[in-house]
Amino acid sequence: MSVPNIVTIRELSKEYRQGEINVTALNNVSLDIAQGEFLTLMGPSGSGKSTLLHIIAGIDRPTRGVCRVQDIDLTKLDESGLADWRNQNVGFVFQTFNLIPVLTAFENVELPLLLTRLNAKRRREQVNTALELVGLAERQKHLPRQLSGGQEQRVAIARALVTDPKLIVADEPTGNLDSNSAQEVLGILQMLSRQIGKTVIMVTHDPKAAAFGSRSIHLEKGELTN
Amino acid sequence: MALPLRYSFRNVLIRWRSTFATVLGIALVVFVFVLLQSLAAGIEKSSGNTGDPRNIMIVRKGSTAESASLISRENLREIQYFEEIARNDRGEPIISADVLVLVNLPRSDGSGEANVLLRGVSPRGVELRPQVRLVAGRWFTPGKREIVVSSRMANRFANFGIGQSFKAGTANFIVVGWLDGGGSAFDSECWMDADECRSVFERDLYSSFLVRPVDESAATKFLERIEADRRFKLKAEKEVEYYRKQTMTAAPIKWLGGFLAIMMSVGAVFAAMNTMYASIGARTREIGTLRVLGFRRRSVVLALLIEGALLALIGGIVGCGVAYLWNGYTTATMGFETFSEIVFEFTVTPRLMAEGLIFAVLVGLLGSFLPSVRASRLPVIAALKSV
């Protein structure tokens, strides 16, 4: 039996103006991503991989084409609809971790849950589960500045996981990490895909990082090359 | 769903170095606002504190203040026999015909001269004003050039010590006692015998009459009688009402307080705006992240507005706290009713403090409004790419 697709992209294009020039970031991209897949997007700088990731995650809009995630056409959602959709369906991991510096690890992970109807007790349980999953249960009262880069990124992964989204997107998640921390983070993302069935889409420059994925696609000048 | 309050609160605390100047600026605005309003409140309190609810004050019709009123001795002769007026143990009507004179006296610190209100009171005058107590020395002797000065003015004017003497008009007066008006307008007066006062200052006429009616119904009847009798051309009203209306001096101070506060608050709003722009500019990516996580624009705006309001509230608390140090401090200014020095206390009331804090929060909200809206409108992608 074939695994259903979580992401369906058809003839997707993204153009924007940079001063007087029209820039084509994505050109007629069509792509299917299966549920539970660990897909890595590779390509040189400016190839459009981050733009594709942002469109799939609902934080950018295409100029043309279709992007359906879990049968929802993201191009049909307005700003508020997209915000709600992101909260319920996507977990984000950024290259620069993007933790809120004034909040503790626990509070950072709890942030997306504040937008749900869960009560404080349930929220606490879910945050603890997410932090345990990334091996940081004992660091939950630490502020981001009291954590190492690898630990910060693991907190960010816990935050991405905490709402139990089907899709996790990661934009160069190891770009700011030493090799040991990078291995840890990639190991966690791989485990999320293989053992928990999350669909992980990761942008990376690094072929070693891409090796953790189940499939890798390459973009160049806004087009898929394989 | 709003961002947690601790997010806004900790952002204020964590950037205390950069927000310190803004907090101080807002504190200064609130301090000036509360202090000037407390001056006005002190003057109002002093007037509002004055008088006995049983007494009726009579002045010339058309005169706004006792000091600008003139009443003839014939009027006194007629009115004192009205049956509505109570009598004391000796059967004398309880009425005081007072003379008010402005005298220019040197200040004790040598900084020039100021007008002092001198009240010549009839023998019943002291009895009619139980809130005025003698706190040192003795009362003046009728027929002598003796004077009792307000204890609160004693250190403000030269030769106001007991046993000392000063010249006013053509005569020398000996200070024989100090009075305390209990926080009333009488704290700004010096008292002497009415007839002696008229003689020294060559006044043929009285300024006002103060009357104690037999009871409440007699008081009503007395008021109607004075009003109805066209021979007198006098105006009678309850003493407390009369003094409650004498708050003209407070009005310009209130206005000045409001005006200064508004002018200064314009600066404070810009300071708060600047701080918030800097604070928000330094965490554009953080705001982008919140948007990515699903927080809506209005949640971001609300969190930043709360942050601005908290920042200003801290300033407001500091401003109110410093202003409160002045509470109860006695000072003086020129009264516009009498053109004489009036003594009063800074009165920082809970209401004034609340107004100061609300004022501060408004400054914070105004200052953070534009930066908050701007931050929330930034496209998510652009915010995330911000360094």
For A86, the closest of B7, B283, B292 (CB atoms) is B292
Q: CB distance from B284 to chain A under 8 Å? A: no
To test the contact with chain A by mutation, choose from B292, B300, B307 the residue with the greatest count of A C-beta atoms within 10 A, namely B292
Structure-token pair, residue B221 = 């009847």
Q: CB distance from A176 to chain B under 8 Å? A: no
d(CA B122, CA A48): 100
pLDDT by residue for chain B (387 residues), tens only, comes to 678 788 888 888 887 877 888 888 889 888 988 888 888 888 788 777 888 889 999 999 888 788 888 998 888 888 988 989 999 888 889 999 999 998 889 988 888 888 888 999 988 888 899 999 999 999 999 989 999 999 988 888 989 999 999 998 888 999 999 999 888 888 889 999 999 999 899 888 999 999 999 999 999 999 998 888 888 888 899 998 888 887 666 777 778 877 887 888 888 888 888 888 888 888 888 899 999 998 988 888 999 999 989 989 999 999 999 999 988 887 777 666 667 777 778 889 999 999 999 989 998 999 899 999 988 888 888 888 876
Task: Look up residue B87 and give its DSSP letter.
Answer: B
Three-state secondary-structure class, residue B2:
coil
Instruction: Measure A98 CA to nearest chain B CA, in Å.
Output: 6
Which chain A residue is nearest to residue B299, measuring alpha carbons? A115
**Rg (Cα) of chain B, in Å, rounded?**
29
pLDDT for position B249: 64
Given the DSSP bridges, would you call strands B171-180 and B165-168 parallel, antiparallel or unpaired? antiparallel
Binary contact (B10, A103; C-beta < 8 A): yes
Domain boundaries, chain B: 5-48+248-385, 62-232
Structure-token pair, residue A41 = 């997007």
Q: CB distance from A96 to chain B under 8 Å? A: yes
d(CA B355, CA B337): 28
Residues 53-82 of A with CB under 8 A from B: 54, 57, 59-60, 79-80
d(CA A185, CA B62): 90
Instruction: Measure A111 CA to nearest chain B CA, in Å.
Output: 8
Instruction: Measure B293 CA to nearest chain A CA, in Å.
Output: 6
Structure-token pair, residue B242 = 């009369």
Three-state secondary-structure class, residue B114:
strand
Domain that holds residue A151: 5-221
The residue ranges of DSSP E strands in B46-205, in sequence order, are 56-60, 95-106, 113-121, 133-137, 146-150, 165-168, 171-180, 189-193
d(CA B352, CA B24): 19
Binary contact (A100, B7; C-beta < 8 A): yes
Binary contact (A87, B10; C-beta < 8 A): no
For A100, the closest of B286, B296, B297 (CB atoms) is B286
Q: Cβ contacts (< 8 Å) between B290 and chain A: which residues?
A: 100, 111
Q: CB distance from A102 to chain B under 8 Å? A: yes
Q: Tell me if A90 sits within 8 A of A169, measured CB to CB.
A: yes
d(CA B176, CA B165): 9
Q: CB distance from B281 to chain A under 8 Å? A: no
Binary contact (A60, B291; C-beta < 8 A): no
Binary contact (B286, A101; C-beta < 8 A): yes
Which residues partner with B332 through β-bridges? B343
Instruction: Measure B258 CA to nearest chain A CA, in Å.
Output: 38
Instruction: Measure B366 CA to nearest chain A CA, in Å.
Output: 24
Instruction: Measure B2 CA to nearest chain A CA, in Å.
Output: 8
B252 phi, psi to nearest 5 deg: -65, -30
d(CA B379, CA B288): 8
pLDDT for position A18: 83
pLDDT for position B43: 79
Q: Crossing angle of helices B350-377/B284-293, nearest 10°?
A: 80
For B294, the closest of A84, A96, A102 (CB atoms) is A84
Residues with Cβ within 8 Å of B270's Cβ and at least 6 positions away in sequence, in order, are B367
A163 phi, psi to nearest 5 deg: -90, 5
> Is residue A81 within a helix (H) or strand (E), and if so which, with residue range?
helix A79-89
Which chain B residue is nearest to residue A159, measuring alpha carbons? B293
Which chain B residue is nearest to residue A60, measuring alpha carbons? B381
pLDDT for position B89: 87
Three-state secondary-structure class, residue A10:
strand
The DSSP code sequence of A100-159 is: -TTS-HHHHHHGGGGGSS--HHHHHHHHHHHHHHTT-GGGTT--GGGS-HHHHHHHHHHH
Q: Tell me if B208 sits within 8 A of B69, measured CB to CB.
A: yes
Residues with Cβ within 8 Å of A17's Cβ and at least 6 positions away in sequence, in order, are A23
Q: CATH no. for residue A80?
A: 3.40.50.300
pLDDT for position B114: 86
Number of domains making up chain A? 1
Three-state secondary-structure class, residue B121:
strand
Which chain B residue is nearest to residue A93, measuring alpha carbons? B289
For A103, the closest of B7, B292, B380 (CB atoms) is B7
> What is the tally of helices (H) and strands (E) in chain A?
7, 10
Q: Tell me if A201 sits within 8 A of A53, measured CB to CB.
A: yes
Write the ipTM.
Answer: 0.90
pLDDT for position A106: 96
Q: Is A226 part of a structural domain of the chain?
A: no
For B293, the closest of A54, A80, A87 (CB atoms) is A87
Side-chain-side CA neighbours of A146 within 13 Å: the count stands at 11
Instruction: Measure A167 CA to nearest chain B CA, in Å.
Output: 13
pLDDT tens profile B263-281: 888 888 888 888 888 888 8
pLDDT tens profile B31-51: 988 888 888 888 788 777 888
Per-run averaged pLDDT (10 residues), chain A, 226 residues: 84 89 92 94 92 93 92 89 90 92 94 92 95 92 94 94 93 90 93 93 93 94 86
What is the count of residue pairs from A and B with beta carbons less than 8 Å apart? 62
Query: Alpha helices of chain B — where are they, by DSSP H?
Result: 5-14, 16-48, 73-79, 125-128, 194-200, 216-228, 239-245, 250-281, 284-293, 297-324, 350-377, 380-385
Question: Long-range contacts made by residues A187-190, C-beta under 8 angstroms, separation at least 24?
Answer: A187/A212, A188/A133, A188/A134, A188/A154, A188/A157, A189/A38, A189/A93, A189/A157, A190/A38
Chain-centroid distance, C-alpha B146: 31
